[in-house]
Structure 1
Amino acid sequence: MVKSERRDSSAGEDKEEACDVAVSDQRLQDLGYKSEFRREMSLFKVLGISFCAIGILTGMSSAFQTGLFSGGPVGLFWGWNICSFFMFLIALSLAEICSTYPTMGGLYFWVCKMKPDIPILGFFTGWLYSMAMVFTGIAGNLTVALYLASMAEVGQGRTLTRVEITAIAWAMNIFSGIVNTIGTKAIGHMSMFNVWWTLGGTFVLTITLLVKAPVKNSPDFVFTNFQNFTGWESRGFVVLLGFLQAVYTLEGCETAAQVAEEAVRAEILAPLAVAGSIAGSWLIGLAYMLSLLFAVQNIASVQATTYAIPISQLFYDAVGPQLAQLCLVVVMVSQVMAAITNFTASSRLFYALARDNAFPLKKQFMTLNRFQAPYWGVWTSVLIGCIISCAYIGSAVAFDAMLSSAAISVMLSYLQPIIIRVFWPDSIEDFGPFCLGKWSWPVNFASFSFCVFVCILFVLPTAYPANVLNMNYSIVAVGGLLVIITINWFWWGKHSFKGPVKTFTFK
């Protein structure tokens, strides 16, 4: 009797899941696409994808010195909360569109559907965002190498050369390619693991820092202390520069949309993951940041460090060499998963662009292996990563310029669909289940304003007086990328790309 009830229960669950899959496939077909991927992603897995891409532990750790030197604790605390609020509004804006168009192309496809009469907007968004994902993955893999270099310095007193660090970055690029080649199930399991790793890692880091730090800073220091190592005299401007740390950390929530065609009930799950990942990251990041601020022993020591990653010095001063290595391992593992997820997003974007004739070698980039992975896009990302990583051997400044352009490119990509929702509010006629209703336009306008503000802030000089070594070359890198995309549009895209190409038609 019990076995019969279990079989009936299992059959009922299978029937319900099959029904959900059918609903998801039908929605995709209504948008003109046939289902090419198996729907193996649950809410937890889709949410994990966005958590992976945001990489709250990695972003906070890798960019912490930006805020620490530009405004100090007061700038970090208020900057984090202000930026988290506006990034949550951006997430709500994107989630509403994602619910309407739950497809793999994400930002690119949304722009194409909302403004089909201006195909150049979709083309630019697709190329800009795909390159941003590749560059972010490259930056993540190099950061893994820098964490390993810091561990060698802390544990053995050995300083790795740029060639050795680049070789490690190459290995990480290839490893990211291998994991992505295995396919959806591997990425799904990794994303689930990352959620628990982030929660557990935050708990371990917070407790370790607060318990072991020899001197705990006062609340007055944590919430009001101002620091300025930038050379600029304006306190307000210096604090604003510290905002870049928060924005850089919180980018990536939209990555859930890249696996929408691999999720059950994507029109509900994907937008929930987009908005939920920012809300969760806001709280987790706040807890981690406060533990860092209460535990930091000497900000000048962190500023003058010789370690490859400055936060290594903060860990070393606060908890000693052995526990510092433990802290670095916790953050580094999270960084590995974040970089892998960026290549997941870029490969799906290449697939979507090729499907719509916005990318060359359509047949190759739309080919899936037996693991349901678009492996041409995966290994193109790896190849670009290995080539660009070589720039680090010659000049860390040149490499930083190329990779800092990724953060701006992501914000510019966010800006495209949000601009359409602000100036063409009727661009969506039939909303999905996740709808902001009367709050839609105010939320989109606030998101638009913040995106413009951040894009301007990202290209301003971060140090004064500016020289060859501390100059912000981001505008040069982003400008170069836009020039390349423009040339590509007039040379090839203008003639081949007319918007999304339907792969499914109703008979």
Structure 2
Amino acid sequence: MIKAELRDFSAGDDKEVACDIVASDQRLQDLGYAVEFRREMSLFGVLGMSFCAIGILTGMSSAFQTGLFSGGPLGLFWGWNICSFFMFLIALSLAEICSTYPTMGGLYFWVCKMKPDMPILGFFTGWLYSMAMVFTGAAGNLSIALYLASMAEVGQGRTLTGIEITAIAWAMNIFSGIINTIGTKAIGRMSAFNVWWTLGGTFVLVITLLVKAPVKNSPEFVFTNFENFTGWQSKGFVVLLGFLQAVYTLEGCETAAQVAEEAVRAEILAPLAVVGSIAGSWLIGLAYMLSLLFAVQNIASVKATTFALPISQLFYDAVGPQLTQVCLVVVTLAQVMAAFTNFTASSRLFYALARDNAFPFKKQFMALNRFQAPYWGVWTSVLIGCLISCAYIGSAVAFNAILSSAAISVMLSYLQPILIRVFWPDCIEEFGPFCLGKWSWPVNFASFLFCVFICVLFILPTAYPVNVLNMNYAIVAVGGLLVIITINWFWWGKHSFKGPVKTWVTPNSSL
């Protein structure tokens, strides 16, 4: 009799849910892991995790100027739809693997299971992706500080210093740690609420912009106007640089996998959340983007803004100071919820890596508090996030390099399992309920090509002529991170990490 069957379901529990929990626990045990977390997340909660991590309102608002200055409305509209299509293909590729291996290790565990003879791939994927989640969380918390700084500028005319902005980012990092320490229920409910907040917030922003903007741009402007503030002469290259805004916004769909061991029927719900979050974000983001393009009053004014975030100037010009505050509040609260989920993901990754001897201090990082939270991973994420935030005091350029490295690291992490599915298509013998069938290899191949293309694009200079202030230092940051992981592999990981460690042995298991 398996551990799941020994649970005491109360008379008030739904029998069907109880059976689903048993089935989910059985699947996890078949993969070699004992049940450690309570399954308290529904489809809405798991879907909300990915929606939170993608943060369509926040990603679009924070990075909108990237596309606006690199291609303008033409690049933004077509870049969004092209990138959304390929990110949807990536989501399909990841969802198929997620359905087969529904564990919190996510990308890391998938790589280990599909290519067990090369543990170095799993080790690199796990470390790279966990650091990317921490960096992304730190970036999200700094974005909150910048939104608050913009609100202070709009409402009071007061410009916050770099130290003040960093102090707010520290406070948000610590607050994220406190919320994540509370446990699964709080994060799950917040994630579910974020779905409604995203839908409602998008509606509010779209209506406000379209109704209050004094001048509405023509469809010709929205779909064909080209802008170039980069200095590059190649029109095609400038439009491609605008693609980075879309990719940065849409990263995060795989976060649902990090709570797979806390979801009922994770082999079904997690892949649905992965795919559904991209499909929903594509449509919601398109509606928000079109409202911004129809309402933008002067692109040069947005470029020359003194506000902490350029999107604040777009709001200010279109709807005035009071409604700008309303718009910023909507986006800021969405950013708060998005930042929380990054530390949720990173703490679960640290737990999964420690469980398999791929991370030091195994006992500590596998410890759960009474709220079922892996608190060591949570507060390690907070500590790293606070240290990263300090870079903003010395140099915004250095901090931006860290942010760019996080985006590249996520794409490199996507690349690992997809690469294996392309070059070793028979690496999965038995698929889960979510299966692409004959379309599996073509979808994986297209996803592979797009990941490689974006990783190269992310490290190219975004302005010309290139100097020390506008140089894209992402290649330095990513290179440094890869060097650290490589040293760690040869110094420690090579001797301690052999692949996933079974914590549960099921008789006659085929896995």
Deviation at 1:398, TM superposition (A): 0.7
1:318 matched residue in structure 2: 318
Q: Distance in 1 between matches of 2:106 and 2:386?
A: 26
Aligned equivalent of 1:331: 331
For residues 55-454 of structure 1, the aligned pairs below 5 Å read: 55-454=55-454
The one-character-per-residue Cα deviations of 1:33-60 (angstroms, maximum 9, x if unpaired) are: 0110000000000000000000000000
What is the CA RMSD across the aligned residues, in angstroms? 0.8
Residue 26 of structure 1 is matched in structure 2 by: 26
What residue number does 1:39 align with? Answer: 39
Given residue 191 of structure 1, which amino acid in structure 2 is its aligned partner?
S
Q: Which TM-score applies when normalising by structure 1?
A: 0.98
- Residue in structure 2 matched with residue 500 of structure 1 by the alignment: 500
Which amino acid in the other structure matches residue 419 of structure 1?
L
CA distance in structure 2 between the aligned counterparts of 1:208 and 1:111, rounded to whole angstroms = 45
Instruction: Give the match for residue 459 of structure 1.
Output: 459
SS at the partner of 2:426?
helix
What's the offset of the Cα at 1:506? 2.6
5+ residue gaps in structure 2?
1-9
Residue 11 of structure 1: CA displacement?
A: 5.6
Q: Distance in 2 between matches of 1:354 and 1:232?
A: 46
Structure 2 counterpart of 1:353, one-letter code? L
When the two structures are aligned, how many residues end up with a matched partner?
498
Shift of 1:356: 0.2
Runs of 4+ in 1 over 2 A off after TM superposition: 10-13
3-state SS in 2 of match to 1:427: coil
Opposite residue 495 of structure 1, the aligned amino acid is H
Letter in 2 for 1:295: A
AA in 2 matched with 1:110: W
Q: CA deviation at 1:401?
A: 0.6
For 2:3, the equivalent position in structure 1 comes to none
Shift of 1:404: 1.1
Letter in 2 for 1:82: I
- Code of the aligned partner of 2:485: I
Instruction: State the 1:31 CA deviation.
Output: 0.3
Q: CA deviation at 1:12?
A: 8.5
Question: Could you list the per-position Cα deviations for residues 259-301 of structure 1 after superposition, in whole angstroms to 9, with x for gaps in the alignment?
Answer: 0000000000000000000000000000000000000000000
Report the CA distance between 1:13 and its aligned residue: 6.0
Match of 1:6 in 2: none
Question: Counterpart amino acid of 2:366?
Answer: M
AA of the residue aligned to 1:127: W
Amino acid at match of 2:505: T
Q: Distance in 1 between matches of 2:284 and 2:393?
A: 35
Residue 49 of structure 1 pairs with residue 49 of structure 2: yes
Q: Name the SS of the counterpart of 1:368 in structure 2.
A: coil
Equivalent in the alignment of 1:473: 473
CA distance in 1, matches of 2:232, 2:107: 36
Amino acid at match of 1:119: P
Once the two structures are superposed, residues 119-146 of structure 1 have per-residue CA deviations (whole angstroms, 9 ceiling, x without a partner) of: 0000000000000000000000000000
2: CA distance, partners of 1:16 / 1:215 = 55
Q: Which amino acid letter does the alignment assign opposite residue 48 of structure 1?
A: G
Shift of 1:15: 1.1
Give, as a single letter, the amino acid of the residue that structure 2 aligns with 1:483: V
Using the aligned pairs only, state the percent identity. 90
Q: 1:505 and 1:456 mapped to 2: Cα distance?
A: 43
The residue identity in structure 2 corresponding to 1:499 is G
CA separation in 2, counterparts of 1:11 and 1:82? 51
Quote the Cα distance in structure 2 between the aligned partners of 1:304 and 1:374: 45
> Which amino acid in the other structure matches residue 59 of structure 2?
G
Deviation of 1:248 after TM superposition, in Å, equals: 0.2
